[in-house]
Amino acid sequence: MSELLDLAGIFVFALSGALMGVRKRLDAVGMGVLAGMTALGGGVVRDLILNVRPIAFQSLGYVLVPIAATVIVFFFHPHVARVMPAILVLDAAGLGLFCAVGTEKAMEYGLSPLHSALLGVTTAVGGGMLRDVLAGEIPTLLYDRQLYAVPALLGSAVMAGLSSYGWHGWPATLAAALLAFGLRIAAMRFKWRAPLARGVHE
């Protein structure tokens, strides 16, 4: 079940990466690279920091899902773009899932709660940051005006706190994921924005 949820999150992230490739007028290879980086980049970075073989290289599904997302966007990108509101909701769900799972895995490998939370955020937003760099964009992480990294940070912090007090497994993961998901949805719904430096205007 957990692997199916993981693959679902990877699929949604891969769609956003492939769509970025379309907007940048990249060819099919470029779209596939952006899709793969967006979907798998955060998890690969997490596993390399933990000094374990990345899970993306242990299952064929982790390779096939981004390829499938790329093919779908390649042929049907106008239709995919039209359902972006729904994709953004699924993206928020993937954000919540990845930040919680990434934090829990870091705790299992003996990292402190603070470092585990940071690694959970890396899992959730690292792929998007790699996508933006490859596409020649300023990474969203550096101007989190739509509150993307902040929900992931809060979800990761809750996951680390629960794990510290012995709360493990799917109930803790679900609680942390739902918190991050809810905050991200609320940020989109109510257009919450992170503050700019004093004296700096839009």
What pLDDT, on the 0 to 100 scale, is given for residue 193?
82
Taking a C-beta distance cutoff of 8 angstroms, is the pair 97, 9 a contact?
A: yes
Encode pLDDT of 61-111 as tens digits: 899 999 999 999 999 999 988 887 888 888 898 899 999 999 999 999 999
What's the rounded Cα separation, in Å, for the pair 108 and 98?
Answer: 15
Q: Which of 39, 41, 53, 191 is nearest to 126 (CA)?
A: 41
Mean pLDDT estimate for the chain: 89
What pLDDT, on the 0 to 100 scale, is given for residue 202?
66
Angle (nearest 5°) at CA 147 between 157 and 122: 50
What's the rounded Cα separation, in Å, for the pair 32 and 17?
Answer: 8
Tokens of 75: 């042929």
Tokens of 106: 């870091």
What pLDDT, on the 0 to 100 scale, is given for residue 115?
96
Q: In three state form, how does the secondary structure of 63-81 look?
A: HHHHHHHHHHHHHHHHHHH
The pTM score is 0.88
